[in-house]
Structure formats: structure tokens, C-alpha cells
């Protein structure tokens, strides 16, 4: 075991996989020599050479399009889009190509590809360094979507993603890169070195895609969250004294409905929390699924606490970000409903 930040865990996952499998290649903007604007590929080019880890032109469609070609050849590219906010030029390649190669060719061609993207807000990133576009991927048949919330999960899930035979969108909440964040922006942040989940196994290990994690057991209600919101939900439950069962979904597609169902059937209440905008967000899918599966056990309407239906603002960061106060109010309201 070793103490790692989320960045170090992600880098370590790629290091492990590049050492194990020479088919694994890593590239993107500033990913090679410089080691990435968030340092998540630092040292990989030095260790594995320029043809395994390299810098690309500033062209998201080019990065994803060439990676699809490489994956269909038989390599296993693990590529980076610098910010999830900048994936849109590659969206055609992701949706029309990566997601559908296997299906449309009846397995003649496949796309074992991981697209890493720093995501999420809470860092004064403004409109184009804060977005959470997961719903734009979960809506696409053929993609898997992963959002880790801590170094341990990040490494285990990224190794699984690289080994997965299908394209995986790997969304990394950049607010969590250096330490957990519960939304209390006025308090100092604890680094991962002081947190249990900063303890990460050395070498190869995996966590299954499609398996949620119950981060707090409780009996009063179920909170469905992922990424940064896992910590916000924990803080909100503690502060409001609500005995909530908090589930970190970890992968959105495939979704661990069994864990969700078991929990809501036990608690009878459900609150869904995500940073992304409300309308047609992934929370809508979760609410619909819970309603279908747990209708007769539900004792209150399913609540959603999310970003507002606006572009992500700059100065109004903490009015936008669904922090512990707003989540806490929803927990109490759902208890009283």
C-alpha cells in the first residue's frame, strides 16, 4: 500500500498498465513531455518512450478519432481530453464511432478505449472548466461512464476501464484531485494523505465497473451521489443529523441497480445529488428507475439536488454548486415529506 493523491493514483494506474501491456498508449494535449496540466501523466514519457506517451495537436476530434483507429488496430489507448468542457469537438467521434463500432460491424471491429476527462466544478473554473457532461455520455448506447470519488477507486476503476473491451468515458472530478471536498469552501481542505481512501494498493488491482459502493450505511433515506457530491452528501447528512444511506454510484453505465434497489426498498426515501444541470441530467434517469423499481416502498417524492439549469457561472460559484446547506435542506424536506 502507498499514500496517493487521486492524481497519483490515476498516474499509477496508467503506469501499471503500460508496464503490463505494451498495447497501452497514452496521449493528449500536453500529456507527453510536460506530463499533463494536472500532472496525471508525469514521468510516463520518460519511462515508456515517446511512442507510448506523447503530445498531440490541439484537436479533440483528432485525439479521439486517431485513438479509435488505434483501438481498432488492436492497441489500448488511454487518452486525455484536457477538460470535459472541451470534449464537444470529439462528440461525433465518441457517439457515432467509438460507441458503435462493435455493434455496427457485428464485432468485426471493436474499440477498447478509455477517454479520461477532468470534470466538475467548485474550483472557480467558470463556464468552460467546470462542466459535468456525464448525461451526454450515459444517453449513448455502447459507452460506459465512470466517475471515481477517491484515489483507491480511481486506480482500481481506471485499470478496469483500460482492460475493458468497450469504450469507457472516465470522468475525473478535478476538485477531488488533491483531497476530498465537502462543499465547505471556507474551510481548509484535508489532503488525501490524511484520508483512509488515500491508501492505495501498489501494483495491479481492479474494481468492477457496474458496482456501486455504500459509503455510509443508514436507515432513514437513500442518497445517490457520485464524484464530489459523495462528500457533500456525507457532510450534509452529518450536519442535519439524518441517518442517510449514502451510495457512491462509481459507474453510471452500467448502473448498479441492485444496490440502489436494496437500499431504497429498505429506507423508503431517496435523494439524488449531482453537480450537473437538472433538466435531463442523469438524476432524471435515476429518479425514473427508482420510481419504477421501488414505487410501493417510497414514502416521499424522490428529490433531486443539482446544479441549476444555467451555464456554470464564475462569481456565483457557491450559489451554483450544490453545497452541504442546499443538500441538507433537501434531506430534511424529504424526511418530513
Partner 1 sequence: MTERRLLTLHVPEPAVRPGGAPDFSNVKIPKAGAVPRPNVDVEPESIRDLAFSIIRVLNRSGEAVGPWASPLSDEELLEGLRHMMTLRTFDARMLIAQRQGKTSFYMQHLGEEAISCAFRRALSPGDMNFPTYRQAGLLIAGGYSMVDMMCQIYSNSRDPLKGRQLPVMYASKEHGFFTISGNLATQYVQAVGWAMASAISNDTKIAAAWIGDGSTAESDFHAALVFASTYKAPVVLNIVNNQWAISTFQGIARGGAGTFAARGLGFGIPSLRVDGNDYLAVYAVAKWAVERARRNLGPTLVEYVTYRVGAHSTSDDPSAYRPKTESDAWPLGDPVIRLKNHLIVRGVWSEERHKQAEAEILDTVIAAQKEAESYGTLHAGAKPSARDMFEGVYAEMPPHLRRQRQQAGV
Positions marked active-site: 129
Residue 7 vs 68, nearer CB to partner 1: 68
Q: Which residues pair with 117 in a beta bridge?
A: 171
Q: Which of 43, 46, 59, 337 binds partner 1 (CB under 8 A)?
A: 59
For residue 305, the surrounding DSSP H or E stretch is: strand 303-307
Assess 127 for contact with partner 1 (CB under 8 A): no
- Where would I find the H helices in 75-125? 91-92, 101-104
Interaction between residue 208 and partner 1 (CB under 8 A): no
CA dihedral 40, 45, 51, 57 (to 10 degrees): 60
Is 322 a residue that touches partner 1 (CB under 8 A)?
A: no
Sole binder of partner 1 in the list 84, 162, 233, 255 (CB under 8 A) = 255
30 binds partner 1 (CB under 8 A): no
Regarding 117 and contact with partner 1 (CB under 8 A), the answer is no
**Per-residue burial over 67-105, b = 16 or more CB atoms within 10 Å of its CB, e = otherwise:** bbebbbeebbbbbbbbbbbbbeebbebbbebbbbbbeee
Contacts of 143 (CB under 8 A, 6+ apart): 94, 98, 99, 137, 166, 167, 168, 169, 253
Residue 75 binds partner 1, judged by CB under 8 A: yes
Q: Which is nearer to partner 1, 73 or 124 (CB)?
A: 73
Residue 268-287 contact track with partner 1, rule CB under 8 A, x = bound: --------------------
Q: Which listed range, 69-77, 123-131, 183-191, 313-321, lies at the site for partner 1 (CB under 8 A)?
A: 69-77
Site size with partner 1, rule: CB under 8 A: 45
| Choice between 107 and 188, CB closer to partner 1 | 107
Per CB under 8 A, which of residues 166..205 are in contact with partner 1? 166
- Residue 262 binds partner 1 (CB under 8 A): no
Q: How many degrees, rounded to 5, is the angle at CA 244 between CA 240 and CA 250?
A: 120
Nearest in space to 167 (alpha carbons), one of 284, 230, 87? 87
170-192 burial: b if 16+ Cβ within 10 Å, else e: bbbbbbbbbbbbbbbeeeeeeeb
Q: Which is nearer to partner 1, 93 or 228 (CB)?
A: 93
Is 102 among the residues that bind partner 1 (CB under 8 A)? yes
| Choice from 96, 127, 279, 280 touching partner 1 (CB under 8 A) | 96
Considering the rule CB under 8 A, would residue 144 count as an interface residue with partner 1? yes
**Number of neighbouring beta carbons within 10 Å of residue 298:** 17
Can you say whether the dihedral through the CA atoms of 28, 29, 33, 36 is positive or negative?
negative
User: What are the residues binding partner 1 (CB under 8 A)?
Assistant: 25, 51-52, 56-57, 59, 61-62, 65-70, 72-75, 89, 92-93, 96-97, 100-110, 141-142, 144, 164-166, 210, 253-255, 257
Amino acid at each position: 500500500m502507498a499514500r496517493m493523491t487521486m492524481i497519483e493514483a490515476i498516474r499509477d494506474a496508467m503506469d501499471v498498465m503500460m508496464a503490463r501491456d505494451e498495447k497501452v498508449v497514452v496521449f493528449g494535449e500536453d500529456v507527453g513531455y510536460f506530463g499533463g496540466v494536472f500532472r496525471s501523466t508525469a514521468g510516463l514519457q520518460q519511462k515508456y518512450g515517446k511512442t507510448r506517451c506523447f503530445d498531440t495537436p490541439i484537436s479533440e476530434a483528432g485525439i479521439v478519432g486517431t485513438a479509435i483507429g488505434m483501438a481498432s488496430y488492436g492497441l489500448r489507448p488511454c487518452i486525455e481530453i484536457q477538460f470535459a468542457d472541451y470534449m464537444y469537438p470529439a462528440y461525433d467521434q465518441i457517439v457515432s464511432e467509438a460507441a458503435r463500432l462493435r455493434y455496427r460491424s457485428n464485432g468485426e471491429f471493436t474499440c477498447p478505449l478509455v477517454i479520461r476527462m477532468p470534470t466538475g466544478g467548485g474550483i472557480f473554473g467558470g463556464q468552460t472548466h467546470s462542466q459535468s457532461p456525464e448525461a451526454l455520455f450515459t444517453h449513448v448506447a455502447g459507452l460506459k461512464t465512470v466517475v471515481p470519488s477517491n484515489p483507491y477507486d480511481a486506480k482500481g476503476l481506471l485499470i478496469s476501464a483500460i482492460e475493458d473491451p468497450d469504450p469507457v468515458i472516465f470522468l475525473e472530478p478535478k476538485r477531488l484531485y488533491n483531497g476530498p471536498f465537502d462543499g465547505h469552501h471556507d474551510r481548509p481542505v484535508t489532503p488525501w494523505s490524511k484520508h483512509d481512501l488515500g491508501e492505495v494498493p501498489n501494483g495491479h488491482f481492479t474494481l468492477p465497473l457496474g458496482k456501486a459502493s455504500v459509503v455510509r450505511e443508514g436507515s432513514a433515506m437513500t442518497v445517490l451521489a457520485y464524484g464530489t457530491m459523495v462528500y457533500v452528501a456525507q457532510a450534509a447528512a452529518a450536519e442535519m443529523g439524518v441517518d442517510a444511506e449514502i451510495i457512491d454510484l462509481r459507474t453510471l453505465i452500467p448502473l448498479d441497480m441492485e444496490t440502489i434497489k436494496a437500499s431504497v426498498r429498505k429506507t423508503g426515501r431517496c435523494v439524488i445529488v449531482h453537480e450537473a444541470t437538472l433538466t435531463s441530467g442523469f438524476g432524471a434517469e435515476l429518479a425514473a428507475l427508482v420510481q419504477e423499481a421501488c414505487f410501493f416502498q417510497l414514502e416521499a417524492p424522490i428529490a433531486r439536488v443539482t446544479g441549476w439549469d444555467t451555464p456554470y457561472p464564475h462569481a456565483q460559484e457557491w450559489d451554483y454548486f450544490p453545497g452541504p446547506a442546499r443538500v441538507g435542506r433537501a434531506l430534511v424536506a424529504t424526511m418530513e415529506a
